[in-house]
Amino acid sequence: MNNIDYTAERYWEDVAVGEELPGFSIELDATQMVLQVSGSQDWNLVHHDTEFAQESGMTGIFYNTGWTTGMLGRLLTDWAGRSGWVEKLSFQMRGMNGSGAVVRAHARVTDKRMDDSRALIDLDIFLENDQVGVTTPGKATVRLPSRTNAAQQS
């Protein structure tokens, strides 16, 4: 379990550029490998068959795109609060997250702006592991409720 209050709002005005998101870590043990396949329904052998992955030129299995997207999505929705909405999410898979690694998802606020009265937060997002460092850098934009907008509309 975690200590997140999913019913709480996070308001645009309360976010500061440079703020770090709490993030979370997951150890890629055998159970996690099975959960990856179950949750994504991605049956490509490179993600669960070590012999096939090595025969393909990899050092071992590596976790798939559905899992990677899910990790980064959770990173954002854990933080965005009750009404926060992830508008954009992009990332590059530059390194592998493989068995035995401990993967940490984390992010930093890089900008906050109003766009046609949409209260937006831009973030740099990352997956990194204890074996190779940052494997998956990316960017995201989250729309948050704004007290200013609410006051203008009332």
Binding site for another protein (CB under 8 A): 1-2, 4, 6-7, 24, 26, 35-36, 38-44, 46, 55-57, 64-74, 76-78, 82-83, 85-93
* Closest CB to another protein among residues 1, 16: 1
Shortest CB 120 distance to another protein, Å: 13
In the complex with another protein, which residue's Cβ is closer, 64 or 129? 64
CB of 117 to another protein, least distance (A): 17
Whole-angstrom distance, CA of residue 13 vs CA of residue 34: 41
Name which of 1 and 30 has its Cβ closer to another protein: 1
Select 18 or 52, whichever has its Cβ closest to another protein.
52
| Cα angle for residues 119, 128, 58 (degrees, 5° grid) | 130
Least distance (Å) between residue 77 CB and another protein: 6
65 phi/psi in degrees, rounded to 5: -70, -40
Q: Vertex 139, ends 70 and 105: CA angle to 5°?
A: 45
Smallest distance from another protein to CB 72, Å:
6
The closest of 101, 94, 88, 114 to 60, measured between CA atoms, is 101
Q: How far is Cα 62 from Cα 101, in angstroms, rounded to an integer?
A: 10
